[in-house]
């Protein structure tokens, strides 16, 4: 299979929740003839949209996991990743963006640029993803694509210019005017599949002329040829397309398309836009680190004959065994090839190779550069790089945030116990932000993640997919401890209980570390602590960090230094020095003024202006710090930083305060010291809980 | 330590307190043509109050929340360039705690709206500003009545309100000599206690001066002039 790489597009579709991503993807699959009927997300036919393959997703009408889908449009191969819109699942969005070459950012023509769109846009900027904007839901009451375009420029700071104008709006939405071809386009037939082109309606001519001039002004910056042609008055369609493409790829221009996926308007033109303006795999520079050459950074080439480099970006443990989604960047992967996981050097054989279409799949024999495919039976973690055996490259690692919330779960019976372990094993492999461990003191299983909904979804999935019913404890905030002062210690560990004794003395200091979790400093001179026991001290300190003496939470941001000590020729051992270091840490810790730290969330509440006072009041009651407000007409956004501990159950309270008209999003911002009075309560509660054990 | 130093060194302190350090409430106005540093001056005036533990409401018209925040962060970094990193983190946090930003579209901002927002904040005990900055109001469209209302609000709530105004380029040179207000503020000059004008030195675009046109509070003598750092737009070091 020789494929023209210029005709491959790897794109993501991301947006604010409820902007219609899944509906749009469904339409794309319909027009590219991947599916033969359209099912609505919350449709009455009970089938649900194809992309929402998990039962839970269909029921809640939200997309939790991104499913990779492949389709063809006008002999271009398009791989689409449908990404979730809820902030708790951002890791999915980030992972998807890492492997994509371009993206479609969907905005609602009524809601405009909402907080989640800002987050998604920031992520796209971080991964340098060229994007086109699709302003969806133009059939809705209050639709105003012009206002939304202005918001993209202001709030997202993008050079966004409309390349289409709507013909009619809200209920009267009939089609669009293409400002490049200067033709009116109508979408007819039951499913909008018949496209009719006509001259622009006379009453829209002046508006279209003005909008085209704005477009030409903006894009002629990217092409001297176009600029000359514009001055001479004869720009061609090809020149304009080329200039839009150039600006888009350079991340300096964002074409704005409009339509309504639900009403089947504008989707085919969006596909044309994807093909015309978003990059082919070869046009994006991807880099990897050569592990053989001291992690030297090098650029990968989209050449099928080069050694293979691919990235596993998503794992799924389904009914067919473990499925690993990979994106190939360089070289070709064939059935039967041997590939190496560069993280651990493990070899694996490529067995079945498939292209995914939501939960259905298509067998293929090989995958070339730019392909997104799935492998069977490969054991790895997401984010691992696979290469040909002759090279050792690693793609840069992905940004994985630390979990901020945890809760305890307990299986209701023995059967559930086994199923629960299976489920947890799979979820932790699939999702790096979801973690689990057993608290040895209580024998409880603790799961932690990025938010209440994040954990709720996993508990729900355990029940549905693994038949593992669990009792769920109250959510716990992932507090941390840290020290605020320097303190000395000098500890001797001595034991003489018959037989060989134990002896070690360790002296030094602990002090706050500005960045990072832990640092060990060896300032021993003259060999007062023998070389072989230095690492034992390091181990002892590191082991003390798991549980702080203040309230039993993990300790962060500590530098432990040793500068003196003593050893005994017979009685000193690895264990003795580890225990001495632990003793020393304990001695210094309480003197070093330990404090409690808590996760602070960046919260954005959006709602009608009339509720602004109530919203601000509710944030203030939650120890929140209001950063600011943004008022636009009848709509207002309050941005604040609020401790996670105070955010439990906020959605219910917000709903009742605002008659259900406001919504909020939050994401982790920073760890900050807990105020004295609150800290006392938390510490008391933690001590009480420990006593119970 | 860092904070006391910053307060002592802030020449803009003279626009919010007297020599003894007590707050002096006023209606203030910073005028300049676009791009000379009105916002930077307002932020420095705000920072003086914030660092002294007072709360400041910054109303930004036609500007985004993030951009307004960046003004504060940048200026704070500029004026405390040699400070230790951990002290800076605390300082930024303290500034965020004592500052609230409200952004409005030019079309949605009005005096009743501001009063409503202030009442929301004060009655619920969320925020009690001792100074309100109103940046970006179009003085060519503001009538006298609105400013009289603002002045009443300022007196009632016993706080300062500082405005920025864009002056018309041609109006600058001759009127300033008489220490009068340039257009479009010349019709309302009696409503302000303090008025500052930023001007590039004629013939030298690199130098920007801050001229005090008027001050009825007695804290600063009219006619005083200071120089701005043209890259950071910050006035620093020398005191009145």
Neighboring chain A residues of B135 at a CB cutoff of 8 Å:
none
Query: Are residue A251 and residue A173 in the same domain, yes or no?
Result: yes
Instruction: Classify residue A689: in a domain, yes or no.
Output: no
Mean pLDDT, chain B, integer: 83
Q: Does the CB of A515 have a partner CB in chain B at under 8 Å?
A: no
Domain that holds residue A443: 405-477
Of B93, B96, B102, the CB nearest to A629: B102
Burial of B106 (0-12, 13-18, 19+ CB in 10 A): exposed
Residue A512: closest C-alpha in chain B: B86
Q: Do B101 and A629 touch (CB under 8 A)?
A: yes
Task: Check if A617 contacts B (Cβ < 8 Å).
Answer: yes
Domain limit, last residue, from A539, A562, A592: A592
Burial A108-121 (b: 16+ CB within 10 A, else e): bbbbbbbbbbbbbb
CB contact under 8 A, B108 and A628: no
Closest to A125 in 3D by CA, of A154, A94, A148: A94
C-alpha distance from A164 to closest chain B C-alpha (Å): 26
- Among residues A616, A629, A626, A148, which one has the least CA distance to residue B60? A629
Task: Please check whether residue B193 lies inside any domain of the structure.
Answer: yes
Give the Cα separation of A426 and A420 in Å (integer). Answer: 10
Reference A239, options A216, A213, A214, A208; nearest CA is: A216
Residue of B16, B42, B46, B44 whose CA lies nearest to B29: B42
Instruction: For A626, name the nearest residue in chain B, comparing CA atoms only.
Output: B100
Question: Do the beta carbons of residue A597 and residue A673 sit within 8 Å?
Answer: yes
Residue B237 resides in a domain: no
Collapsed DSSP state (helix, strand, coil) of residue A598? strand
Interface touch B120/A613, C-beta < 8 Å: yes
Please count the structural domains in chain B: 1
Q: Does A629 touch chain B (CB under 8 A)?
A: yes
Nearest beta carbon to residue B65 from set A612, A639, A672: A639
Interchain contact A514–B (C-beta under 8 A): yes
Q: Do A631 and B103 count as a contact with CB atoms less than 8 A apart?
A: yes
A88 and A150 part of one domain: yes
Rounded distance between C-alpha atoms, residue A589 and residue A591, angstroms: 5
Say yes or no for a CB contact (<8 Å) between B108 and A514: no
SS3 call for B57: strand
CB contact (8 A) between residue A627 and residue B96: yes
Angle, CA A472 vertex, CA A470 and CA A473 arms, to 5°: 150
State the CATH number of the domain containing residue A602: 3.30.70.240
In a domain, B205, yes or no: yes
- Cβ–Cβ < 8 Å for A664, A604: yes
Residues A330/A308, Cβ–Cβ less than 8 Å: yes
Residues of B in contact with A627 (CB under 8 A): 65, 69, 96, 100-101
Single out the residue in A283, A308, A337 at which a domain terminates. A283
Do A578 and A536 meet the contact criterion of CB atoms below 8 Å apart?
yes
**Domain assignment of residue A692, yes or no:** no
Hey, are the CB atoms on B124 and A154 less than 8 Å from each other? no
Indicate the SS3 state at residue B30.
strand
In a domain, A298, yes or no: yes
Tell me, yes or no, whether B235 lies in a domain.
Answer: no
Looking at the DSSP bridge assignments, the partners of residue A507 are A490, A564
Measured at the CA of B38, the angle between CA B35 and CA B40, to 5 degrees, comes to 100
**Could you tell me if A616 lies within 8 Å of chain B, comparing CB atoms?**
yes
| Residue B211 located in a structural domain | yes
ipTM: 0.87
Position A559 in a domain? yes
Whose tokens are 């372990």? That residue is A421
Please indicate whether, in this complex, the C-beta atoms of B101 and A627 are within 8 angstroms of each other. yes
Q: Which residues contact A561 (CB under 8 A, 6 or more apart)?
A: A508, A509, A510, A511, A520, A521, A522, A523
Residues of chain B with pLDDT under 70: 1, 169-180, 202-206, 230-233, 235-240
Q: How far is B20 from chain A (nearest CA, A)?
A: 31
**Chain A CA closest to residue B64:** A155
Helices (H), chain B: 2-9, 38-51, 65-79, 85-97, 111-123, 144-156, 172-177
Task: Give DSSP secondary structure letters for A398-412.
Answer: P--PPP-EEEEEEES
Q: A509 with A489: CB under 8 angstroms?
A: yes
Question: For residue A125, is it within any domain?
Answer: yes
Identify whether B104 is part of a domain: yes
What average pLDDT values come out for chain A (693 residues) when binned by 10 residues?
Answer: 70 73 77 66 53 52 54 83 59 71 87 75 79 88 86 84 87 86 85 83 88 88 86 86 90 90 84 89 81 77 85 74 83 88 83 73 83 83 83 70 81 86 83 80 80 82 85 85 93 82 92 87 89 92 90 90 90 91 93 92 87 92 92 84 89 83 80 91 86 72
Count of domains for chain A: 5
For B152-173, what is each residue's pLDDT tens digit? 989 988 999 999 999 876 555 5
Q: How far is A630 from chain B (nearest CA, A)?
A: 5
Residue A526: give its domain's CATH number: 3.30.230.10
pLDDT value for A337: 87
Residue of chain B minimizing CA distance to A628:
B101
Are both A208 and A97 inside the same structural domain? Answer: yes
A154, A613, A672 ranked by CB distance to B64: nearest: A154
End-to-end CA distance of chain B: 22
Q: Mark out chain B residues that contact chain A at CB-CB < 8 A.
A: 64-65, 68-69, 85-86, 93, 96-97, 100-105, 107-108, 113, 117, 120-121, 124-127
Interface test with A, best of B61, B62, B66, B87 (most A CBs within 10 A): B66
Distance CA A614, CA A592 (A): 42
Tokens of A175: 């089609």
Residues A427 and A391 in one domain: no
Q: With an 8 Å Cβ cutoff, are A633 and B105 in contact?
A: yes
Both A334 and A426 in a single domain?
no
Question: B21 in a domain, yes or no?
Answer: yes
Which residue range forms the structural domain that includes residue B123?
2-228
> What are phi and psi for residue A470, nearest 5 degrees?
-130, 150
- Cβ of A627 within 8 Å of Cβ of B105? The answer is no
Is A23:A38 a contact under the CB 8 Å cutoff?
no
Taking CB atoms and an 8 Å limit, are A631 and B69 in contact across chains? no
Question: Could you tell me which of A434, A431, A279, A267 has the C-alpha nearest to residue A370?
Answer: A279
Give contacts of B93 with chain A, Cβ < 8 Å: 672
The C-alpha of A636 sits at a distance from chain B's nearest C-alpha, in angstroms, of 9
Q: Could you please report the per-residue DSSP string of A462-502?
A: HHHHH---EEE---EE--EEEE-S-EEEEEEEEE-SSSS-E
Give the Å distances, CA to CA, from A283 to A124, A249, A278, A287, A651.
17, 8, 9, 13, 44
Residue B129 lies in a domain: yes
Alpha-carbon distance A408 to A476, whole Å? 8
Phi, psi of B205 (to 5 degrees): -70, -15
Dihedral, CA of residue A47, residue A51, residue A55 and residue A59, to nearest 10: -70
Minimal C-alpha gap between A523 and chain B (Å) = 25
**Res A358: pLDDT:** 54
SS3 content of chain A, % helix, strand, coil (to 5): 30, 35, 35
CB of A182 closer than 8 Å to CB of A208: yes
Length in residues, chain B: 240
Query: A197 — alpha (psi -120 to 50), left (phi > 0) or beta?
Result: beta
Q: Based on the fold, state whether residues A179 and A302 are members of the same structural domain.
A: no
Nearest to A641 by CA among A658, A659, A623, A614: A623
Q: B6-41 in b/e burial notation, b at 16+ Cβ within 10 A?
A: bbeebbbbbbbbeeeeebbbbbbbbbbbeebbbbbb
In a domain, A685, yes or no: no
Closest partner residue to A612 among B65, B97, B120, by Cβ? B120
Q: Is A632 on the interface with B (CB under 8 A)?
A: yes
> For the domain that residue B137 is a member of, what is the CATH number?
3.40.50.300
A633 and B108 within 8 Å at the Cβ level: the answer is yes
Residue A173 lies in a domain: yes
Q: Does the residue A687 lie in any domain? A: no
- Do B126 and A626 lie within an 8 Å CB cutoff? yes
User: What number of C-beta contacts closer than 8 Å exist between A and B?
Assistant: 60
A154 Cβ under 8 Å from any chain B Cβ: yes
Asked which of A372, A395, A418 is the last residue of a domain, the reply is: A395
- Chain A residues 271-330 with a CB less than 8 Å from chain B: none
Q: Which of A483, A602, A629 to mutate to test the interface with B (most CBs of B within 10 A)?
A: A629
């Amino acid at each position: 299979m020789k494929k023209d790489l210029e005709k491959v597009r790897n794109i993501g579709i991301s947006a604010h929740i409820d902007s219609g991503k899944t509906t749009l993807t469904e339409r794309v699959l319909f027009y590219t003839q991947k599916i033969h009927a359209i099912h609505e997300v919350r449709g009455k036919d009970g089938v649900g949209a194809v992309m929402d393959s998990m039962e839970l997703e269909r029921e809640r009408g939200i997309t939790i996991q991104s499913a990779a889908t492949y389709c063809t449009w006008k002999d271009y191969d398009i791989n689409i990743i449908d990404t979730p819109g809820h902030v708790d699942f951002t890791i999915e969005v980030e992972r998807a963006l890492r492997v994509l070459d371009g993206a479609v950012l969907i905005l609602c023509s009524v809601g405009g640029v909402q907080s989640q769109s800002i987050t998604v846009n920031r992520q796209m900027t971080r991964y340098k993803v060229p994007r086109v904007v699709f302003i969806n839901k133009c059939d809705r009451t209050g639709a105003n694509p012009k206002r939304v375009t202005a918001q993209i420029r202001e709030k997202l700071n993008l050079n966004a210019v409309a390349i289409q104008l709507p013909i009619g709006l809200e209920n009267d939405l009939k089609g669009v005017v293409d400002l490049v071809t200067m033709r009116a386009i109508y979408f007819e037939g039951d499913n909008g599949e018949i496209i009719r082109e006509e001259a622009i309606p006379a009453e829209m001519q002046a508006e279209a002329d003005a909008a085209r001039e704005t477009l030409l002004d903006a894009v002629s910056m990217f092409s001297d040829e176009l600029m000359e042609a514009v001055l001479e008055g004869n720009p061609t369609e090809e020149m304009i397309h080329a200039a839009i493409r150039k600006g888009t790829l350079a991340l300096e221009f964002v074409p704005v398309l409009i339509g309504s996926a639900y009403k089947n308007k504008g989707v085919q033109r969006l596909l044309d836009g994807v093909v015309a303006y978003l990059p082919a795999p070869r046009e994006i520079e991807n880099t990897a680190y050569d592990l053989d050459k001291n992690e030297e950074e090098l650029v990968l080439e989209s050449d099928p004959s080069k050694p293979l480099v691919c990235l596993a970006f998503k794992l799924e443990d389904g009914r067919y065994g473990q499925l690993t989604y990979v994106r190939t960047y360089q070289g070709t992967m064939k059935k039967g090839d041997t590939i190496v996981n560069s993280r651990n050097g493990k070899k694996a054989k490529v067995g079945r190779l498939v292209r995914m279409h939501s939960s259905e799949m298509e067998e293929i024999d090989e995958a070339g550069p730019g392909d997104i495919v799935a492998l069977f039976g490969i054991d790895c973690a997401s984010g691992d790089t696979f290469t040909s055996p002759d090279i050792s490259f690693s793609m840069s690692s992905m940004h994985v945030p630390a979990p901020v919330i945890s809760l305890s779960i307990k299986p209701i019976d023995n059967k559930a116990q086994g199923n629960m372990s299976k489920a947890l094993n799979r979820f932790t492999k699939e999702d790096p932000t979801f973690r689990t461990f057993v608290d040895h003191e209580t024998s409880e299983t603790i799961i932690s993640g990025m938010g209440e909904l994040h954990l709720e979804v996993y508990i729900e999935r355990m029940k549905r997919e693994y038949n593992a019913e669990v009792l769920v404890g109250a959510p716990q905030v992932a507090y941390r401890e840290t020290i605020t002062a320097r303190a000395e210690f000098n500890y001797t560990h001595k034991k003489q209980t018959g037989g060989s004794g134990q002896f070690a003395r360790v002296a030094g200091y602990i002090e706050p570390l500005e960045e990072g979790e832990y640092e060990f400093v060896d300032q021993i001179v003259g060999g007062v602590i023998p070389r072989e026991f230095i690492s034992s001290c390091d181990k002892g300190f590191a082991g003390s960090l798991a549980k702080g003496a203040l309230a039993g939470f993990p300790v962060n941001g500590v530098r432990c230094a040793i500068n003196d000590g003593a050893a005994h020729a017979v009685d000193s051992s690895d264990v003795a020095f580890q225990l001495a270091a632990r003793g020393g840490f304990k001695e210094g810790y309480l003197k070093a003024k330990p404090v409690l730290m808590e996760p602070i969330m960046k919260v954005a509440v959006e709602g009608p202006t009339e509720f602004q006072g109530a919203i601000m009041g509710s944030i203030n009651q939650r120890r929140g710090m209001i950063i600011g407000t943004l008022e636009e007409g009848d709509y207002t956004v309050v941005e604040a930083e609020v401790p996670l501990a105070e955010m439990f159950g906020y959605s219910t309270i917000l709903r009742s305060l605002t008659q259900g008209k406001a919504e909020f999003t939050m994401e982790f911002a920073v760890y900050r010291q807990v105020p004295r009075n609150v800290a006392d309560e938390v510490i008391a509660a933690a001590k009480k809980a420990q006593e119970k054990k | 330590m860092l904070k006391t130093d910053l307060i002592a060194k802030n020449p803009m302190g003279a626009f919010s307190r007297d020599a003894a350090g007590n707050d002096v409430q006023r209606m203030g106005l910073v005028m300049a043509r676009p791009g000379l540093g009105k916002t930077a001056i307002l932020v420095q005036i705000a920072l003086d109050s914030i660092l002294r533990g007072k709360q400041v409401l910054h109303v930004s018209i036609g500007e985004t929340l993030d951009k307004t925040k960046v003004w504060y962060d940048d200026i704070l970094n500029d004026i405390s360039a040699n400070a230790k990193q951990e002290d800076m983190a605390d300082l930024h946090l303290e500034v965020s705690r004592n500052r609230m930003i409200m952004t409005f579209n030019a079309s949605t901002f009005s005096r009743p709206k501001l009063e409503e927002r202030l009442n929301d904040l004060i009655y619920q005990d969320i925020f009690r500003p001792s100074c309100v900055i109103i940046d970006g109001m179009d003085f060519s469209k503001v009538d006298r009545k609105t400013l009289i209302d603002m002045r009443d609000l300022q007196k009632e709530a016993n706080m300062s309100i500082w405005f920025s105004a864009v002056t018309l380029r041609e109006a600058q040179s001759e009127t300033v000599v008489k220490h009068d207000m340039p257009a479009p503020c010349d019709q309302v000059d009696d409503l302000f206690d303090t008025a500052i004008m930023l001007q590039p030195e004629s013939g030298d675009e690199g130098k920007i001066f801050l001229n005090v046109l008027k001050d009825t509070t007695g804290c600063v003598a009219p006619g005083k002039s200071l120089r701005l750092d043209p890259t950071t737009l910050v006035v620093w070091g020398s005191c009145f």
